[in-house]
Chain A
Amino acid sequence: MTPSVYGMNTVLTVDAVDRSFGDRQVLKDVSFTVTTGRLTGFVGANGAGKTTTMRIILGVLAADRGTVTWQGEPLTREIRHRFGYMPEERGLYPKMSVLEQVVYLGRLHGLSAAEARKRTLVLLDRLELGERADDHVQKLSLGNQQRAQIAAALVHDPELLVLDEPFSGLDPLAVENVLGVLRERAAAGAAVLFSSHQLDLVERLCDDLVIIADGTIRAAGDRAGLRDQYTLPRFRIEVGGDAGWLRDEPGVSLVDLDGRTAVFDLGDGAEDQQVLRSALARGPVHAFGPVRPSLAEIFREVIQ
């Protein structure tokens, strides 16, 4: 695969996937895409279907209906060999050193012994785990075990990275470190799909978003577009004097008023520029603009 110069190629397409466990349907008509060169955040409450979806992408579980394709091709073992996976349930061999097991997993993905070793050493250094390379996994702290796990998912330089909750259990510095590594991979042309329930983190990290609730996709798209889509006609203004006059402005319903700043919604037909002109007529305006909803707010809205 050659990454597009625009870095905007859709590579993975999940199309109309259903999956049940016994009588319980956990995925209903799940569809979304993942693009090269971008971090896609997969967001949902516990039990919403994130892990099941990821397992189906990796071929660990089968879909009851629907397809997953890579650049238009149905997934085969050869294609999946170029994927890297970090499952939700972490685990490495307790009695093998970090270096040994990352090399082993690299070799299972087709690397030669020498190549696997070389890449592992570079990767462990990059993840600030180089000094612990010869330690057994059971001697590492949980955070470091997590980094070893990430190394195991990255060692064969996958074209698609599927990471289930990669940041849970990491301290803020480690989050920055891991995030840096993921961004490098994306910049080099990999597609990255990661799940998280830490919405503030996802909001900061990802380029694209997929929101799932009760086994159905509630929203999907690039982050800015989603924000625009879910932005209410809500504005914030900061003026030189008291903003109390807004109460009497036609079409304006105040949400919050605090001396010189106010947040208000506009009714149908009301013009934001009209409000700005009124404000300017009354004195200086220090700030005026639409209020963008946070991811948490969008999330709350779409999962209802």
Chain B
Amino acid sequence: MTTFEAAKLVAAREIRVKLRDKAFLWSTAVFLLIVLASMLLPALLDGGPTKVAVTDSATVSVLREQGLEARLVPDAATAEQLVRDGEVDAAVLPGPEVIGLDEDPDDVVRALSTEPQVRLLDPSDVNPVAAIVVPLAFAMLFFFTSFTFGMQIAQSVVEEKQTRIVEILVASVPVRALLAGKVAALTALAFAQVALLGLVAIVGMTVTETAPGLLSAVAPAVGWFLPFFALGFVMLASLWAGVGALASRQEELASTTMPVQMLVLIPFFAVLSVPHDGLAMKVLSFVPFSSPIAMPVRLFDGDVALWEPVAALVLLVATTVVLLGVGARVYSGSLLRTQVKTSFMAALRKA
């Protein structure tokens, strides 16, 4: 049997067990609910077009042209009563005077006023809310996926150490097959979970029209986000396995995984805390640990030369190759020390 076949068997077992794991299924379900809720709730809370009671017929046709639901009432008293009863959201009385119950009826006011023409000299093709929310969503997605699945890799490694089955495994298949299978399985699961969330988000946005235009605006940045996300995840995956193998019991994971936790946490907060268009952001978008978050942010903002994401990806690939080597070494150097916690350097030396 080749190492590849062995790795496939290891990965298949890992996925089978994970898909039966209640904690994993529940967390996926909760994520899905959050995504669904964030899109469906605004649509559900939105009560349809604003209803307006109007006392003159000319205004009725003006409001209807603007998409409001206007109805003609005989006098101001009737209109006011309808507003008080909640039958309509607002009323336009002679004057003209607009009344509402407890909120300013902005859309009615806007429909009745003549707005001055606005001309932007350098228009952004993304609306300002999306410009803040979308990069944050990318960063959060990478951070949570990398962190939760990374921890699961470490836990799955230490489970085999703690239950001692690792000695049979190591006697049966090459250590690198074990490592590769485990990392491949959890990478596949992580991508599947993200893809599922993404699919639900896209379908949801299309159906509910929550944010029209957002999809087409996000699309080019998403194209770049995928390779950064995938490489960034794999880069850390074998390190997670390595530091997982340093522990001999689940309780020791918190301390042995600390260095890798920092490698995920610090770049995340660094990217979120620096201004998008400064030099710091530029630097972060090339540093391998922060580039999976920072480069898509810059790409989304626009004005990035094509060579920049390409160069960042090359750096990321190179770092990934090196860290896969380091992770594999630490993993095999500490895998059979089932009695005590192993230090990072001792594991590196021993391999």
State A83–B163 Cα separation when bound (angstroms): 22
Cβ distance B179 to chain A, nearest Cβ, rounded Å: 14
Cβ distance B117 to chain A, nearest Cβ, rounded Å: 67
**Is residue B167 contacting chain A, with contact meaning CB distance below 8 A?**
yes
The 8 A CB mask of A55-96 against B (1 = contact, 0 = none) is 100111100000000000000010011010111011111111
Contact, CB under 8 Å: B17 / A85:
no
Cβ distance B23 to chain A, nearest Cβ, rounded Å: 11
Tell me the interface secondary structure of chain B in the complex.
helix
Query: Nearest A residue to B165 by beta-carbon distance?
Result: A91
Q: From B9, B163, B171, give the contact of A104 (CB < 8 A).
A: B9
Contacts of B13 in A (CB 8 A): 104
**Is residue B76 contacting chain A, with contact meaning CB distance below 8 A?**
no
**Is residue A244 contacting chain B, with contact meaning CB distance below 8 A?**
no
**Is residue A109 contacting chain B, with contact meaning CB distance below 8 A?**
yes
Contact, CB under 8 Å: B163 / A93:
yes
State A91–B163 Cα separation when bound (angstroms): 5
State A89–B339 Cα separation when bound (angstroms): 11
**Is residue B200 contacting chain A, with contact meaning CB distance below 8 A?**
no
The 8 A CB mask of B152-177 against A (1 = contact, 0 = none) is 00000001100111111111111000
A90-B164 contact in complex given A81-B1, A96-B17, A108-B6, C-beta closer than 8 Å: yes
**Is residue B336 contacting chain A, with contact meaning CB distance below 8 A?**
yes
Contacts of B1 in A (CB 8 A): 81, 108-110
Contacts of A86 in B (CB 8 A): 168
**Is residue A105 contacting chain B, with contact meaning CB distance below 8 A?**
yes
Query: Nearest A residue to B6 by beta-carbon distance?
Result: A108
Cβ distance A85 to chain B, nearest Cβ, rounded Å: 5
Q: From A81, A87, A95, give the contact of B168 (CB < 8 A).
A: A87
Cβ distance A161 to chain B, nearest Cβ, rounded Å: 12
State A92–B169 Cα separation when bound (angstroms): 10
Contacts of B171 in A (CB 8 A): 58-60, 80, 83, 85, 87
Q: From A80, A95, A110, A152, give the contact of B17 (CB < 8 A).
A: A95
Query: Nearest A residue to B21 by beta-carbon distance?
Result: A95
Contacts of B164 in A (CB 8 A): 87, 89-91
Query: Nearest B residue to A153 by beta-carbon distance?
Result: B168
Range for the number of chain A residues in contact with chain B: 20 to 34
**Is residue A107 contacting chain B, with contact meaning CB distance below 8 A?**
yes
Cβ distance A67 to chain B, nearest Cβ, rounded Å: 18
**Is residue B338 contacting chain A, with contact meaning CB distance below 8 A?**
yes
A77-B163 contact in complex given A96-B17, A110-B1, C-beta closer than 8 Å: no
Contacts of A107 in B (CB 8 A): 9
The 8 A CB mask of B74-88 against A (1 = contact, 0 = none) is 000000000000000
The 8 A CB mask of A147-184 against B (1 = contact, 0 = none) is 00000110000000000000000000000000000000
Contacts of A94 in B (CB 8 A): 163
Cβ distance A46 to chain B, nearest Cβ, rounded Å: 15
Contacts of A104 in B (CB 8 A): 9, 13
Contact, CB under 8 Å: A108 / B173:
yes
Within 8 A of B (CB), among A225-245: none
Query: Nearest A residue to B3 by beta-carbon distance?
Result: A77
State A86–B13 Cα separation when bound (angstroms): 21
Within 8 A of A (CB), among B229-262: none
Contact, CB under 8 Å: B172 / A87:
no
Contact, CB under 8 Å: A87 / B9:
no
State A152–B172 Cα separation when bound (angstroms): 11
Contacts of A92 in B (CB 8 A): 163, 165
A91-B167 contact in complex given A104-B9, A108-B6, A108-B9, C-beta closer than 8 Å: yes
Contact, CB under 8 Å: B169 / A108:
yes
Cβ distance B237 to chain A, nearest Cβ, rounded Å: 21
Within 8 A of A (CB), among B6-50: 6, 9-10, 13, 17
Contacts of B10 in A (CB 8 A): 108
Contacts of B167 in A (CB 8 A): 55, 60, 85, 87, 89, 91
Contact, CB under 8 Å: B172 / A108:
yes
State A95–B172 Cα separation when bound (angstroms): 20
Contact, CB under 8 Å: B165 / A93:
yes
Query: Nearest A residue to B166 by beta-carbon distance?
Result: A91
A152-B163 contact in complex given A104-B13, A108-B6, A110-B1, C-beta closer than 8 Å: no
Contacts of A81 in B (CB 8 A): 1, 172
Q: From A77, A83, A89, A108, give the contact of B338 (CB < 8 A).
A: A89
Contact, CB under 8 Å: B336 / A60:
yes
The 8 A CB mask of A98-116 against B (1 = contact, 0 = none) is 0000001101111000000
State A89–B159 Cα separation when bound (angstroms): 14
Cβ distance B160 to chain A, nearest Cβ, rounded Å: 8
Cβ distance B247 to chain A, nearest Cβ, rounded Å: 16
State A187–B9 Cα separation when bound (angstroms): 32
Cβ distance A198 to chain B, nearest Cβ, rounded Å: 22
A77-B174 contact in complex given A89-B338, A104-B9, A108-B6, C-beta closer than 8 Å: yes
The 8 A CB mask of B87-131 against A (1 = contact, 0 = none) is 000000000000000000000000000000000000000000000
Contacts of B168 in A (CB 8 A): 85-87, 91, 105, 152-153
Contacts of A152 in B (CB 8 A): 168
Query: Nearest A residue to B177 by beta-carbon distance?
Result: A108
State A81–B159 Cα separation when bound (angstroms): 24
State A152–B167 Cα separation when bound (angstroms): 12
Cβ distance B251 to chain A, nearest Cβ, rounded Å: 16
Contacts of B6 in A (CB 8 A): 108
Query: Nearest B residue to A152 by beta-carbon distance?
Result: B168
State A195–B165 Cα separation when bound (angstroms): 19
A-B contact pairs, 12 of them (CB 8 A): A58-B171, A60-B171, A81-B172, A85-B167, A87-B167, A91-B164, A93-B17, A95-B17, A105-B168, A107-B9, A108-B173, A109-B172
List 10 additional A-B contacts (Cβ < 8 Å) besides A85-B168, A108-B172: A77-B174, A81-B172, A86-B168, A91-B166, A93-B17, A93-B160, A93-B163, A108-B6, A110-B1, A152-B168
9 nearest CB pairs, A to B? A91-B164, A91-B163, A89-B164, A87-B167, A91-B165, A58-B171, A108-B172, A110-B1, A85-B171
